[in-house]
């Protein structure tokens, strides 16, 4: 289990996706994008817009049950991507590399990019934006919800001793 947590806001995610797209423009053009679900869907949509790419596939790889890791299971194949030649793979995070290895095995000729990379998974990606410590659990905007917090003046004062 992670020791630390890092929260990524919608604004930060959007900025990082655009930064990644800017770097990917130097590498492309790409025939299409394969978004790794679920985390890669939103970054892939932002990057597809920035790269003006209309062919978007998805590949569903299940490796987590909450925070517990399990063997990767591909539950949706990216049929249009073939062996990945000319395709860009987008994911939100490469962690231990379990998902990345499964994706790379299925799409060996694709270019793999993600927003965030941990040291164990970093060697499996071709491009990423931010390195994150291995013991950090990243909380993405779709994992959290904004909650109303009352002003400090509205909180009850602690009882006097």
Structural domain contains residue 116: yes
153 belongs to a structural domain: no
Q: What residue has token string 């053009």? A: 29
Report the CATH number at residue 99: 3.40.50.2020
Instruction: Enumerate the β-bridge partners of residue 131.
Output: 117
Residue 65 predicted with pLDDT over 80: no
pLDDT higher than 90, residue 1: no
Choose, from 52, 91, 126, 135, the residue flagged as catalytic.
91
Can you name the residues that pair with 121 across neighbouring β-strands? none
Residue 133 in domain: yes
Q: Given 95, 126, 135, 143, which residue is catalytic? A: 95
Using 50, 70 and 90 to split pLDDT, how confident is the model at 68? low
Domain membership of residue 133 as a residue range: 4-145
68 tagged catalytic? no
Answer whether residue 132 is part of any domain.
yes
The answer to whether 95 is a known catalytic residue is yes
- Residue 100: the pLDDT is 93
Provide the number of structural domains found in the chain: 1
Q: 121 vs 67, which has greater pLDDT? A: 121
Tell me whether residue 135 is one of the annotated catalytic residues. no
Residue 84 has pLDDT above 90, yes or no: yes
Lowest mean pLDDT among 20-24, 63-67, 123-127, 157-161: 63-67
Say if 83 falls within a structural domain. Answer: yes
Per-residue model confidence as pLDDT tens digits over 18-64: 999 999 999 989 999 999 999 999 999 999 999 999 999 999 988 76
What is the average pLDDT across 99-127? 96
Q: What is the mean pLDDT of residues 90-115?
A: 95
| pLDDT at site 64 | 66
Catalytic residue from among 92, 126, 135, 143: 92
């Amino acid at each position: 289990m992670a020791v630390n947590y890092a929260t990524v806001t919608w604004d930060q995610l959007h900025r990082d996706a655009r930064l990644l797209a800017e770097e990917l423009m130097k590498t492309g053009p790409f025939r299409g994008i394969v978004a790794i679900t679920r985390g890669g869907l939103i970054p892939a949509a932002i990057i597809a817009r920035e790269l003006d790419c209309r062919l978007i596939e998805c590949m569903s790889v299940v490796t987590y049950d909450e925070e517990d890791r399990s063997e990767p299971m591909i539950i949706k194949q990216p049929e249009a991507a073939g062996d990945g030649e000319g395709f860009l793979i987008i994911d939100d995070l490469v962690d231990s590399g379990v998902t990345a290895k499964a994706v790379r095995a299925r799409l060996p000729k694709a270019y793999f990019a993600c927003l965030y990379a941990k040291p164990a998974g970093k060697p499996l990606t071709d491009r990423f934006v931010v390195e994150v410590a291995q013991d950090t659990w990243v909380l993405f905007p779709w994992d959290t919800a904004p909650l109303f917090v009352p002003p400090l003046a509205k909180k009850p004062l602690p009882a006097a001793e």
